[in-house]
Structure 1
């Protein structure tokens, strides 16, 4: 069925290029995932604090390798992207990514997590700000963060990264402990510049 408007972004704007490495701050970079990251990914998905807010678990390193490998195809298809947040030694300390990328609407949802040993240092917020700057420079118009209303840490990350609270979506996501109300935040490319 034909659209009444042309897509806000042309096909190929992301997927025809290599996924970039993005500077975050001294000592932190965003880079694409690779097979060697599987043990860290497995450990992350074994973390009870990460499991509490996600509906996915990984049972072995093969599943963790499949998780890291999927992102190449999703980047090329321009449907999603994920970056490892790495330290100076190229060790992943977390993840930040784009989900449900829509070239028609020039929008995406954002996700992030940080390993327990790296928490409390502003890493998630710094990574989210770096991803936001890059996303808007690439042409996206709107980025959204949705997190459980019970996840105060995620709310702080979104707020510190300039994402405006827009409201609560009631009973919209099912976690292992039941249905969660989700807090919605968003940033527009036209909002105040991301620092």
Structure 2
């Protein structure tokens, strides 16, 4: 799938701007490095970015994974009038789309939290994933998060991902139980 042409959008709401989702680019490294220092992003994810060098490395990994068909990572940005893009608001990703199922994930920057950005970005990604990978047999998407991440639970439910299972902790990588949410193609 050509990395340069995929663009997803979500419309503006009464309280939030429209969104533009596009593949990450090398020039995102400075902004990404700033987001990598966000305590909430660090708490809820395994996001390994601490500075511009590690951001550049992470961006290369995303591009390589896209080319390999293993992970489709999108920067979530504010959509400006005329279709341009504003500031970086977060990240959504489709991981390992296969016949049967794939996994989705996301995180948002502090200024985007509580504004419906995560749910609108996840809906756009979900619709795209089911359409783009229908011929390959993608029929189910899974979303995993720590059991105490109430915000992710709310986003999952708002986007039609029902709670499928509680997964036991597996320290050290997963010190707490997790929630497995799932959504089937409609």
The TM-score range, normalised by the shorter chain, is 0.7 to 0.9
Change (3 A) 1:173 1:109: farther
Does the alignment pair 1:161 with 2:159? yes
Post-superposition shift, 1:106?
3.9
Q: Does 1:25 align with 2:11?
A: yes
Using the alignment, how far apart are the partners of 1:183 and 1:70 within structure 2? 26
Deviations 1:19-38 (A, max 9, x none): 51011113211011112211
After superposing on structure 2, the runs of 4+ consecutive aligned residues of structure 1 that deviate more than 6 Å are none
Normalised to the residue count of structure 2, the TM-score between the two structures is 0.85
Shift of residue 56, structure 1, vs aligned partner = 3.5
* Structure 1: tracts of 5 or more residues without a match: 1-14, 191-195
Instruction: Find the aligned partners of 1:173 and 1:117 in 2 and give their Cα distance.
Output: 31
- Taking a change above 3 Å as real, the CA distance of residues 28 and 119 of structure 1, as seen in their structure-2 partners, is same
Trace 1:36-185 onto structure 2 (pairs within 5 A). 36-87=27-78, 88=80, 89-99=85-95, 101-103=96-98, 105-138=99-132, 139=134, 140-172=138-170, 174=172, 179-185=175-181
Counting matched residue pairs gives: 172
Residue of structure 2 equivalent to 1:11: none
Distance between the aligned counterparts of 1:146 and 1:37, measured in 2? 26
Provide the secondary structure at the position in 2 that maps to 1:91.
Answer: strand
Question: CA offset at residue 128 of structure 1?
Answer: 0.3
Change (3 A) 1:36 1:50: same
SS at structure 2 position matched to 1:86: strand
Supply the RMSD in Å over aligned alpha carbons.
1.8
1:162 to 1:56, Cα distance in 2 relative to 1, 3 A: same
TM-score with structure 1 length normalisation? 0.81
Take 2:119 and 2:76, find their aligned partners in 1: how far apart are those partners?
11
**Structure 2: gaps (5+ residues):** 13-17
- C-alpha change, 1:59 and 1:18, in structure 2 (3 Å) is closer
Q: Structure 1 residues 29, 17: closer, same or farther in 2, change over 3 A? A: closer
| Conserved? CA contact 1:44–1:115, under 8 Å | yes
